Structure 1
């Protein structure tokens, strides 16, 4: 069995701050010699990403957590194009903590004054947007939220585009006025024409991408919710909230809770969930629906469930 190659702790610390990635220069500064670097690459302990960038995590990228993969894409672009590079588009959103991005994010960055396009090993250098503002995440620069959305939304499909706008608003990264400016910044970009109606759908009250996707399905299915984050008082007297609500003619409501957990890990968790569900079935709540990621993945499924519940509960009050 070949001897294990020892990696200096400093190199691992640097890589841990960069989603497992490290540059050749950082390796040198941390005490990783060229011979050791070659050995790590040859044995598969480290992986080649692009010229001068290495991945210290041997596990296949596809097997890693989705959030790590998104941020790793951003770091791959930042490290590939040097210390002056700026994360843009979906990569900037990933580093800003915005939820709702697709599982696969294209690594992309820009450089101050960049006027040419370049791509290597699937990593894209974008032209620098005139007037673009930036913000810091750690010790690196990323496009400010308004600009990151302007760059990202035209490249995304509708569910992801609305989800990232919802998340950015919910996190307080920008205001409704800021979202309007982002829309203005996006005008004229390739792919933006199909997105103009999407910007009006953004709602910062959504607390997860799954809530966004269920809401969009209901909008498309002709049963848009009347309320988000519905305040409720359970039969126990405890104050609770439902994710989406629909008013009925008699003043009662149909309430939907959106649950991303497909399974309960323990009997106690299942009991607590059932107790919460039962507590919310009160005189004011005509029906309490549970919608999951499985429902959200099927176009029309959430809307059909809601429509049936509304019909069963009575005619819906006009908006």
Structure 2
């Protein structure tokens, strides 16, 4: 009868560090805490840990693409937009409220996957590694990125080292500013400033996501209008930016979610950009009935309003759905036409075509 294999307990300090780093640990961190190569190998072979990249282990045994909200770390390092950093005083109350708003389980899972990529890049290249591009934006709390972003980092010395499997090592930009990221568990790490990260990421992202991250950065006041303009200047000359210049002109902090940005971009692509965003709708007595996400003024009077319905607003909440139906009826009585779309319509790329069909 074979003996049941047991595993030595992992030090609590190392588990706390993994929790801070979205479940990831570097082999150097493991070695310093007494978890040597042999112990790591045994845990990986037993399916308790996974290899995330060369020199990086994942303490969550579930594949990233198969994870649910129950697999998330309890206390990861928070994004910079909701921590007390040196620029916190400059953000408006509205920006802080937007950054702190309640997140759905799906959104929290996606945030984890993005910041996991950022940590994988930093841990793969040691304590001097800097998160850049989309990875840095994820650490800044900017929304609208694809769910799966490639781990990437840069080294401040312009190292000749090559990229490791699964992690891209980028050239350190001349004059790139960095900001501190981390907490007492991780120590100070460095990530590209929001301005520089936007300049690096937007030319590489699909246009729909590029617009969404610019909208989000302005809405959350991660950058100012002047900062976004400087990011545009930093991006000039980069590969892919020629097809993305218009995104900086289109960026609008009134977009309240990436879903709204995605829907707006599809309308722009279809040749029917909205006339305005967040349009108040009132009845004939001046009473506010609601605010439309996007609106078009119709020939002969009246308006078309498009509402982008996110998961957290409707799924499993009959009361909210009923209130929306009542509001749609109020809009109709006020001469407002309403079209509603959700993430499925965005995935099917039908928002713009349906709006164009309605406008005729």
Q: Tell which deviates more after alignment, 101-110 or 192-201.
A: 192-201
Counterpart in 1 of 2:127? Answer: 83
Q: Is the 8 A contact 2:144 2:213 kept in 1?
A: yes
TM-score, normalising length: structure 2: 0.79
Asked if 1:38 corresponds to 2:41, the answer is yes
Q: Tell which deviates more after alignment, 204-213 or 69-78.
A: 204-213
Q: Is the 8 A contact 2:302 2:336 kept in 1?
A: yes
Asked if 1:221 corresponds to 2:224, the answer is no
Q: 1:267 to 1:184 in 2, by over 3 A?
A: closer
Q: What is the CA–CA distance in structure 1 between the aligned matches of 2:140 and 2:161, rounded to whole Å?
A: 24
Asked if 1:258 corresponds to 2:261, the answer is no
Q: Is the 8 A contact 1:235 1:281 kept in 2?
A: no
Q: 1:26 to 1:115 in 2, by over 3 A?
A: closer
Give secondary structure in 2 for the equivalent of 1:28.
Answer: helix
Counterpart in 1 of 2:329? Answer: 278
Give secondary structure in 2 for the equivalent of 1:76.
Answer: helix
Q: What is the CA–CA distance in structure 2 between the aligned matches of 1:238 and 1:49, rounded to whole Å?
A: 52
Counterpart in 2 of 1:16? Answer: 19
Identify the match of residue 346 of structure 2 among 292, 296, 311: 296
Matches within 5 A, 1:161-200: 161-200=210-249
Q: What is the CA–CA distance in structure 2 between the aligned matches of 1:144 and 1:32, rounded to whole Å?
A: 34
Q: Is the 8 A contact 2:290 2:327 kept in 1?
A: no
Q: Is the 8 A contact 2:219 2:253 kept in 1?
A: yes
Q: Is the 8 A contact 2:279 2:292 kept in 1?
A: yes
- Report how far residue 128 of structure 1 moved: 0.9
Q: What is the CA–CA distance in structure 1 between the aligned matches of 2:302 and 2:308, rounded to whole Å?
A: 20
Q: Tell which deviates more after alignment, 155-164 or 274-283.
A: 274-283
Q: What is the CA–CA distance in structure 2 between the aligned matches of 1:50 and 1:265, rounded to whole Å?
A: 38
- Report how far residue 53 of structure 1 moved: 1.5
Q: Tell which deviates more after alignment, 95-104 or 143-152.
A: 95-104
Q: What is the CA–CA distance in structure 2 between the aligned matches of 1:218 and 1:48, rounded to whole Å?
A: 42
Q: What is the CA–CA distance in structure 1 between the aligned matches of 2:330 and 2:315, rounded to whole Å?
A: 19
Question: How many equivalent residue pairs?
Answer: 309
Q: What is the CA–CA distance in structure 1 between the aligned matches of 2:53 and 2:155, rounded to whole Å?
A: 18
- Structure 1: give runs of 5+ residues left out of the alignment: 312-319
Give secondary structure in 2 for the equivalent of 1:109.
Answer: strand
- Report how far residue 227 of structure 1 moved: 0.9
Matches within 5 A, 1:1-319: 1-3=4-6, 5-64=8-67, 65-114=109-158, 116=160, 118-138=162-182, 139-233=188-282, 237=287, 240-261=290-311, 264-283=315-334, 285-299=335-349, 301-311=350-360
Q: Is the 8 A contact 1:74 1:94 kept in 2?
A: yes
Q: Tell which deviates more after alignment, 35-44 or 251-260.
A: 35-44
- Structure 2: give runs of 5+ residues left out of the alignment: 68-108, 183-187
Q: Tell which deviates more after alignment, 193-202 or 14-23.
A: 193-202
Q: 1:235 to 1:70 in 2, by over 3 A?
A: farther
Q: Is the 8 A contact 1:235 1:280 kept in 2?
A: no
- Report how far residue 277 of structure 1 moved: 3.2
